[in-house]
Structure formats: C-alpha cells, structure tokens
C-alpha cells in the first residue's frame, strides 16, 4: 500500500501565528517525535508552513527542533525540518550545530535532502559573510554536478538563469 504524504493543517498554521499561538507550536514540536510517522510528517509540514509565514514564532522551540532534526529518520520529516531550521534566526552554538547537520545532510542518499540542506545553508548564511564564503562553493559545485533538483536550486540561489 502506498503511503500518502500528509498535508499541513491550515487551521493550526493560522492558530500558531496568532499572539497566543505558543501552545499550538509546542504541540506540533512534540508531535515530531510521535511513533506514528504520519503524525510526525504532518507536524513537520505544518511547522514548515508556520516558518514560511513567520519563522520567529518558532524560535522558542529552536533547541527542540534541532534535537528533532537529529533524531528524525523519516526523510519527509528531515526535509521539512531542514527548511524550518534554515529559516530560524539562529546564533552562536545553535547555528553552528545546525550548520554541521546541514553539511552532513549534503552527503545524504536523498537528493532532496541534499538540495534542502543546501537551501538551509544559504538561508543561514544570509547575514553571515564568513558562512556565505563557505557555502557558495558548495552551491557552485551543485550547479555543476548535483542532481537536476540541486542544479535548479543552485541556479536560483546564485541568481543564474538556465543557459
């Protein structure tokens, strides 16, 4: 039987973005560790949607999100958490740990995991010239020898049109 990916829960996204949305965010972060993988996947997708609207809403759970990203074995949860972590306004040790995780994910079997790790690294390096200097060669390398998805994302990240 084919497993159907679980969509984000729009009502939870809206609730999380409200001033009193902390309880919703906390529940979603807890669900990342659920033994029922479909619940964890849906929570990860919903957190990704929240991060699209306002990543700062998830900052209070950064340590739990980082821990969940390290524990995640499901590739769909990994993909979504890579996006979320890349969008968080991380600093210091938290940022260093996430950067290390994303560099590990650049070696993953999953091409999409590698692509989203590259995106997360670029997002994390937005206001960090030293990190950008480390990440840019990785993106250029993906442009030349990555999967088609990595090449497309690398073009977008480097601002290059398809030639």
* pLDDT confidence tier of residue 160, bands split at 50, 70 and 90: low
Q: Which of 71, 15, 6, 10 is nearest to 44 (CA)?
A: 6
Q: What is the pLDDT of residue 10?
A: 80
Q: Taking the domains of the chain in order of start, what are their residue ranges?
A: 1-69, 90-158
CA-CA-CA-CA dihedral for 93, 110, 30, 38, to nearest 10: 170
pLDDT by residue (tens digit) across 88-122? Answer: 999 999 999 999 999 999 999 999 999 999 999 99
Enter the DSSP assignment of 21.
T
> What's the mean pLDDT in 72-86?
97
């Amino acid at each position: 039987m084919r497993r159907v990916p679980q969509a984000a829960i729009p009502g939870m996204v809206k609730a999380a973005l409200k001033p009193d949305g902390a309880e919703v965010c906390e529940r979603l972060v807890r669900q990342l560790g659920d033994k029922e993988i479909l619940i964890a996947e849906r929570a990860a997708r919903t957190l990704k949607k929240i991060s699209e609207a306002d990543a700062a809403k998830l900052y209070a759970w950064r340590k739990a999100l980082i821990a969940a990203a390290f524990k995640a074995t499901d590739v769909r949860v990994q993909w979504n958490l890579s996006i979320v972590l890349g969008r968080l306004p991380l600093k210091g040790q938290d940022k260093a740990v996430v950067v290390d995780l994303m560099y590990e994910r650049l070696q993953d079997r999953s091409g999409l995991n590698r692509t989203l790790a590259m995106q997360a690294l670029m997002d994390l390096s937005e206001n960090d010239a030293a990190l950008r200097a480390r990440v840019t060669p990785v993106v250029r390398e993906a442009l030349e020898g990555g999967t088609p998805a990595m090449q497309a994302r690398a073009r977008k990240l480097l601002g290059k049109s398809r030639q």
